[in-house]
Amino acid sequence: MKSIVAGQHALGTEEFAELALGVDEELFAGVVGESAIERQARLDVAYAVLADLRREDPELAAYAEQQMRTAPVLPLRRPVVTRRTASVERVAA
């Protein structure tokens, strides 16, 4: 069975929902491995879109809010890099 929304072929359930609802789920749910800066930028956009959705489509806004609450993606923890300085022993000549 083919999943077609507005003439577009959906390859999976997430893509089908995105096409049907007109909202990218990753905008609200996040992406694994995003940095703290990327996460903040995504959330800034998500909150702006959410404000518009509350006015235009409260049901879709409720779905988006649920995505933000139930699927928070934590930023990837980057390993702490410590630099070691080589110690040089001086030998008296």
What are the boundaries of each domain within the chain? 25-77
> Cα–Cα distance between 24 and 18 in angstroms, integer?
5
> Cα–Cα distance between 45 and 66 in angstroms, integer?
16
List phi, psi (to 5°) of 91.
Answer: -110, 130
> Cα–Cα distance between 80 and 8 in angstroms, integer?
44
> Cα–Cα distance between 93 and 84 in angstroms, integer?
27
Taking only the tens of pLDDT, the chain with its 93 residues reads 444 444 556 566 556 555 556 677 788 788 888 888 998 998 899 889 889 889 988 888 888 888 788 765 555 455 555 666 655 666 665
pTM exceeding 0.75: no
